[in-house]
Amino acid sequence: MPTIAVTAATSHLGRLVVEALLERGVAAGSMVATTRDAAKAADLAAVGVDVRVADYADPATLDTALAGVDRVLLVSSDAVGDRAEGHLNVIAAAERAGVQLLAYTSVLKADATAMLLAADHQATERRLAESPVPTVLLRNGWYTENYTAQLEVALEHGLVGSAGDGRVAVASRRDYAEAAAVVLSGDGHEGAVYELAGDEALTMSELAALISEATGRDVAYQDVPVETFAGILAGAGLPEPLNAVIADSSAGIGRGELVSDSGDLSRLIGRPTTPAAETIRDAAQLVA
């Protein structure tokens, strides 16, 4: 059985990928979970996953983390605008380690999108294209959880964005994690580029209506110019350039950049993607 490493395994997505691999029958002992903070992965170590400390900014830690590993999932970091170099360090370490398969969590339509968010992903994809290591691009669309992570804020202020009537093809994080686990534990994915998105594409007003339905509270969508939205996010404490990048992504939804009819996600996971209504209902129960 190949040894599979999941980087940033203590991220929300990384944890779900490790869980999905275990559910698919991959032995904990055949798995490496990398994290910057081993204490955060104590639960993974407790079930027998080999936890190794690695920082994308520190190549020596990456060499230790990827020693003896056959397949790697590189989970993109959350340092938006400043993460390409770290990703390139992971790719170089995977090459030095003789990895046989390197999958990367990119963004939907990375090669065509004008969204600012995609710049780091595009730089990473360009480097992957030059690598001798067989690669898989998991071009992830939006998580439904992007709209539930701060449900209290939506309940108080409504949904705000710059997407107009644009649609976003959301799926649950778990859906994307399962797709990654299918690729890492399966065969024949080398060279694949998967455009991963939910089966349903919703407008912001439709998402607001689902939140209203799940919470019993009246939540409306307010559309504002992209500069105004960036300002609102800055006022809420989001630093530069993150507030501008998130506002720009909302405008990207308006331009149709976060929808796809590829069907890749449901095909990989072998079932329809999780309806947004279900993810929103689950989140609503936690704030009830």
Ligand X SMILES: NC(=O)c1ccc[n+]([C@@H]2O[C@H](COP(=O)([O-])OP(=O)(O)OC[C@H]3O[C@@H](n4cnc5c(N)ncnc54)[C@H](OP(=O)(O)O)[C@@H]3O)[C@@H](O)[C@H]2O)c1
Q: What backbone torsions phi and psi does residue 279 show, to the nearest 5 degrees?
A: -65, -40
Distance (Å, whole) CA 166 – CA 204: 8
In sign, the C-alpha dihedral spanning 246, 136, 89, 70 is positive
Distance of CA 78 to the CA centre of its chain: 9
Distance of CA 20 to the CA centre of its chain: 15
Interface characters, 4-33, with ligand X (x: CB under 6 A): ----x-xxxxx-------------------
Rounded to a whole number of angstroms, the minimum distance from the CB of residue 153 to ligand X is 16
Do residues 96 and 256 lie in contact, with contact meaning Cβ atoms separated by under 8 Å? no
24-32, 55-63, 158-166, 235-243 -> range binding ligand X (CB under 6 A)? 55-63
Nearer to ligand X, 11 or 266 (CB): 11
* Tokens (6 digits) for 49: 């996953």
Rounded to a whole number of angstroms, the minimum distance from the CB of residue 218 to ligand X is 26
With CB under 6 A as the contact rule, the residue among 79, 119, 123, 238 that binds ligand X is: 79
Distance (Å, whole) CA 24 – CA 8: 20
- Told to check if 269 binds ligand X by CB under 6 A, we report no
With CB under 6 A as the contact rule, the residue among 1, 24, 37, 96 that binds ligand X is: 37
Interface characters, 122-151, with ligand X (x: CB under 6 A): ------------------x-xx--x-----
* Tokens (6 digits) for 266: 């449901």
- Told to check if 57 binds ligand X by CB under 6 A, we report yes
Q: What backbone torsions phi and psi does residue 3 show, to the nearest 5 degrees?
A: -85, 125
Q: Which residue type does 185 have?
A: S
42-50, 72-80, 91-99, 276-284 -> range binding ligand X (CB under 6 A)? 72-80
- Told to check if 215 binds ligand X by CB under 6 A, we report no
Cα distances (angstroms) measured from residue 213 to each of 30, 106, 203, 209, 220: 43, 32, 15, 6, 11
Rounded to a whole number of angstroms, the minimum distance from the CB of residue 64 to ligand X is 14
Task: Specify the DSSP class assigned to residue 146.
Answer: G
Rounded to a whole number of angstroms, the minimum distance from the CB of residue 227 to ligand X is 22
* Tokens (6 digits) for 279: 């993810």
Rounded to a whole number of angstroms, the minimum distance from the CB of residue 37 to ligand X is 5
Nearer to ligand X, 76 or 113 (CB): 76
- Told to check if 55 binds ligand X by CB under 6 A, we report yes
- Told to check if 198 binds ligand X by CB under 6 A, we report no
With CB under 6 A as the contact rule, the residue among 26, 52, 87, 105 that binds ligand X is: 105
- Told to check if 78 binds ligand X by CB under 6 A, we report yes
Rounded to a whole number of angstroms, the minimum distance from the CB of residue 171 to ligand X is 9
Distance (Å, whole) CA 49 – CA 41: 9
Question: Which has the closest alpha carbon to 260: 129, 130, 110?
Answer: 110
By CB under 6 A, name the binding residues for ligand X: 8, 10-14, 35-37, 40, 55-57, 75-79, 86, 105, 140, 142-143, 146
